[in-house]
Amino acid sequence: MNNYSIADNFSLLAKLMDIHQENSFKAKSYSIAAYTVEKLTVELSTIDQNKIFSLKGIGESVGHKIVEQLQTGSLKILEDYIAKTPQGVLEMLHIKGIGPKKIATIWHEMGIENLGELLYACNENRLTLFKGFGEKTQQGVKEAIEFYMGTQGSYLYQQIENYAFAIDEKLNLIFPDSIHALTSTFRRQLEIIEKLEWVTTADISEIKSFFITNDFKIVTEENGYISFVGKENVTLGFYSIEETFFYNQLFVTSCSDEFLQSWINNTGWDITQPYQSEEEIFEASNCAFIPICLRESESVISNALQQKLPVLIKQHDIKGIIHSHSRWSDGMNTIEEMAAACIEQGFEYLVMSDHSKTASYAQGLPIEKVLAQHDLIDALNKKNAPFRIFKSIESDILGDGSLDYDEDILSKFDIVIASIHSNLKMTEDKAMLRLMNAIENPYTSVLGHMTGRLLLSRNGYPIDHKKIIEACAANDVVIELNAHPRRLDIDWRWINYALEKNVLISINPDAHSIDGFNDCKYGVLVAQKAGLTKEQNLSSFKLTEFESFLVRQHQKRG
């Protein structure tokens, strides 16, 4: 087990003890243990187990439980609590706005043991009868449950890709004489996947036999299509087709309904004519090949018929890591380590943007730490030339839209990323006020994660996308495409409008560790869906180009 798994177990144990209204001191000790283990810089599995007890913050009781997990892969006391907790109560831990103490009230005092009952109680205004549950809390719980229920069975692309490829590999192994291809939303690189689907020449009866034998249950079976669900709760669907029409079916299932209907209307495509490849389908209509990721809306078809499709950005086009956090705030690695990893991976520069002082929850940098960090960066730049670390900050956008720090400190940064992190439950008017004021601040170079959304967890605050994009255009502000797979914010559906207004996008990993650099991949995947080119992406700028961009930004500061 790694440190994160051990920390998660302690965290869950603390919550369950609170839910069961056990000794609060014991519950808090496990919560502290979770925090301690998560922040360790060395993996516990690599330490002599006798030395674990001497680690700072690890006492006798916690130490024994760490050893138990390392030796057995489980924690018996946690398993005992899980066993005596109703499944519906456990599920409540996924609902925003209700922590363990409130869940204890819901279970023990309200007698509610599942989300359906809790939602019904909210609709009947019953929560407000209990201490700690006002109307605002009740409404928040209601909305959170509805959101949670609406996302069950849905997965982030990043969550499901390894499973998709594993099933794909298994199909090729079990049915070597058949042709298989992933299709549908996964093939189109959508950020949220509700089911994985394949086109296959394998017979449905053979597919059915294999999956039933491996404990999958049939969900749908009709007209050459069958779908299953297994213990992972992922729906797997298969279109069985004879080899002659394999590419016809692959094309049809790789298009959105809107795109397919428009394609037929514009080209008069005859689905009954067999094709040997998807390329052949486009050639027959004198149309440029439309990449799978772009087959969403009808607008792309007219450009393709005129041979005017863009050359889409690729992962290797990312030249620098913009937006990263080190151990100076809430990151996992030192600046030295992150710079070394960038150099090793072939990046030309690193934009070091730790949290600003108001973000106390993330160890935001007070002024003296900002100055100390800048001294360190100067030293590292001398050591690592021609590689360059740029001095940046992810400045909190405060309640009135102003940036963290006064102008004399802001002027010391090479580049400022402005983001909202607090008071996310805003009206559109409030959100727009904060964002517009930040965008109009001459020190803002990049607008970070525009809506604050967390996919499948939290809707973003409401904004007028067009006005925000137009304001960024007017103030020469870059819009971040935060590449963290739970954010992917700005939504790719709005990037095209930004490009129309000549607003630069920047695919940024928001990396809190070296591994976080890899998230650039997911930003690129959704950027491709918007037709983004490397020239339209700030993090694709070479070092000299990026330095020229900064000169223009500094001129804006006056």
Residues in the chain: 558
Instruction: Give CA–CA dist 190/182, Å, rounded.
Output: 13
Q: Which CATH architecture has domain 315-557?
A: Alpha-Beta Barrel (3.20)
Mean pLDDT of 542-556: 97
> Which residues are CB-contacts of 547 (< 8 A; sequence separation ≥ 6)?
none
241 with 223: CB under 8 angstroms? no
Q: Which superfamily, per CATH, for 3-151? A: DNA polymerase beta, N-terminal domain-like (1.10.150.110)
Task: Report which of residues 178 and 232 the model is more confident about.
Answer: 178
- Look at residue 330 in the predicted model and tell me its pLDDT: 86
- Look at residue 126 in the predicted model and tell me its pLDDT: 80
- Residue 360 tokens read as 């106390």
> Which of 102-116, 145-159, 465-479 shows the lowest per-residue confidence on average (mean pLDDT)?
145-159
Instruction: Give CA–CA dist 434/444, Å, rounded.
Output: 13
Distances (CA, A) of 213 to 198, 205, 216: 19, 12, 7
Q: What is the three-class DSSP state of 225? A: strand
- Look at residue 146 in the predicted model and tell me its pLDDT: 83
Asked whether residue 250 carries a pLDDT value surpassing 80, the answer given is: yes
Instruction: Give CA–CA dist 325/42, Å, rounded.
Output: 19
- Look at residue 152 in the predicted model and tell me its pLDDT: 79
Phi then psi for residue 456, to 5 deg, are: 65, 5
DSSP 522: H
Give 458's pLDDT tier (boundaries 50, 70, 90).
confident
Instruction: Give CA–CA dist 417/329, Å, rounded.
Output: 15
The residue among 131, 188, 147 whose CA lies nearest residue 164 is 188
Q: Tens of pLDDT along 98-109?
A: 999 999 999 999
Map tokens 């997990």 to a residue: 69
Report the topology of domain 155-305: Beta Polymerase; domain 2 (3.30.460)
Mean pLDDT of 32-47: 89
| Domain range list for the chain | 3-151, 155-305, 315-557
Instruction: Give CA–CA dist 406/423, Å, rounded.
Output: 22
Cβ count within 10 A of residue 89: 21
- Residue 225 tokens read as 């299509």
Q: Tens of pLDDT along 381-438?
A: 999 999 999 999 999 999 999 999 999 999 999 999 999 998 888 999 999 999 999 9
- Look at residue 120 in the predicted model and tell me its pLDDT: 76
